[in-house]
A and B are shown apart, each in its own frame.
Chain A
């Protein structure tokens, strides 16, 4: 098991560097290129959410923990809280997408459906909201060689 812990300012400009680094690390530890893009997207979306919804102070800080196991990755992002953010509302809104395309049309052109994408790309998504902030924990399993996940 290998753990990486990062602290970074709540600045969207920092996220591309963070997501690239973690995706590259996943590649080093045997995840496929496709899985690494998925990991890059997962990190991107949950970090952007944390910055946009979970930080009210100008000098707020995001904590990212990254655990590498032989057959899975665990990514945890914690913000400081402060802004109104109800992940359940976001999740319910995103669920509309899965069923009826026409009803989702206006929704899709708006921002904020990143969590839905994270849920679809990961094996587990857990969100806990407390007074000290929101913690998003994602597990991404390594697919056995030769097996490609299809929707």
Chain B
């Protein structure tokens, strides 16, 4: 339960250059969300015009508050407007509960694994 800080890892999927995978490790809250944004946004600029697919791996995210959720929703809206796709992978129960109680569950695509998320993008 002691949570502090966030690390962000960004990579392009080996199987498909249109897929960016962001792994969040730690806490996505009021302090860390703007910092995460600063790291993620430049990496997304390259494929902004083409839409593409953004997968956020939340399996190592220990905590998320409404500001963290707002960040996820911003990427969801951004991808939707550019005809791209936004997917969330394996959120912990406490993170998923925030997505559920906020109502965002109705809009977000959540997958159990990165592989499932990638397959769903290919089927698009």
Contact = CB atoms under 8 A, between A and B. Distances in A.
17 contacts: A16-B31, A24-B2, A37-B1, A37-B97, A41-B65, A44-B65, A101-B106, A101-B107, A105-B77, A105-B107, A108-B69, A108-B70, A108-B77, A114-B65, A117-B65, A117-B102, A151-B100
Contact of A13 (B27, B31, B104): B31
A34 interface: yes
A16 B3 contact: yes
B98 A117 contact: yes
Contact of B4 (A16, A40, A106, A110): A16
A75 interface: no
Given A13-B31, A101-B107, A113 B70 contact: yes
Interface of A: 12-13, 15-16, 20, 23-24, 27, 33-34, 36-38, 40-41, 44-45, 48, 97-98, 101, 104-106, 108-114, 116-117, 120-121, 151
B101 interface: yes
Interface of B: 1-4, 27, 29-31, 63, 65-67, 69-70, 73-74, 76-77, 80, 93-94, 97-98, 100-104, 106-107
B66 A40 contact: no
Interface SS of chain A: helix, strand, loop or mixed?
A: helix
A101 B30 contact: no
B103 A24 contact: no
A90 B94 CA distance: 24
Given A109-B70, A113-B66, A151-B101, A34 B29 contact: no
B63 A108 contact: no
Given A23-B1, A37-B94, A105-B107, 20 more contacts: A15-B30, A15-B31, A24-B1, A27-B1, A34-B97, A37-B1, A37-B97, A40-B1, A41-B98, A48-B67, A98-B103, A101-B106, A105-B73, A108-B69, A108-B77, A108-B102, A112-B66, A113-B102, A121-B97, A121-B101
Contacts of A23: 1
A113 B102 CA distance: 8
